[in-house]
Amino acid sequence: MLSLRISASSGVPVYLQLEQQIKQAIASGVLHAGDPLPSTRRTAADLRINPNTVARAFQNLEREGIIRTVPGGGTFVASLTALGPGLLKAEKLRRLRPHVAQLAVEASQLRLSSADLHKLLDSELQELEQSRRTHASPSSEDPAGNP
């Protein structure tokens, strides 16, 4: 379920906050292709903002091909092929950037080299992938996945 929040003190225009949050909801899998968005009026009422602000955000997202509006039918997340992998990747990278920045600061404070940090990250990713494979598919020898 989409949960939008507006921060009056963030310094970011409200319409941009809406755009960013909808993009993030798509990138994180909260919203999927074909999912309906709340109407402009409903969103404006829920957030207690001007409907024109919501309309501006929706128009910008539609211009980017992220959402589509069906006259008299509502507004929906566009198909993933319309979104393209670039948007999703860019949103995922944007979401990780603060975490990577913090990791870089800590690694620098510990005087870890870039190569050591890369090795550590690669190792963690390999362990996650191995764990995912182990838990995602049961063993072919035992349907329950027991060894």
Range of the domain at 51: 14-80
Let me know if residue 7 belongs to a domain.
no
**Cα separation of 94 and 22, whole Å?**
14
Domain end marker among 32, 58, 80: 80
Looking at the structure, tell me whether residues 72 and 98 fall in a common domain. no
Q: In terms of domains, do 67 and 115 share one?
A: no
Tell whether 73 and 102 lie within a shared domain. no
Q: What's the domain count of the chain?
A: 2
127 C-beta neighbours (distance < 10 Å), count: 10
What is the per-residue pLDDT for 94? 73
Please report, for residues 63, 88, 108, 109, 118, the alpha-carbon distance to residue 112 in angstroms, rounded to integers and kept in the order given: 44, 31, 6, 8, 10
Per-residue pLDDT of the chain (147 residues; tens, 9 = 90+): 789 999 999 999 999 999 999 988 887 788 988 999 999 999 999 999 999 999 999 999 999 888 999 999 999 998 765 556 666 677 677 778 888 889 999 999 999 999 999 999 999 989 888 887 887 655 444 444 455
pTM above 0.85, yes or no: no
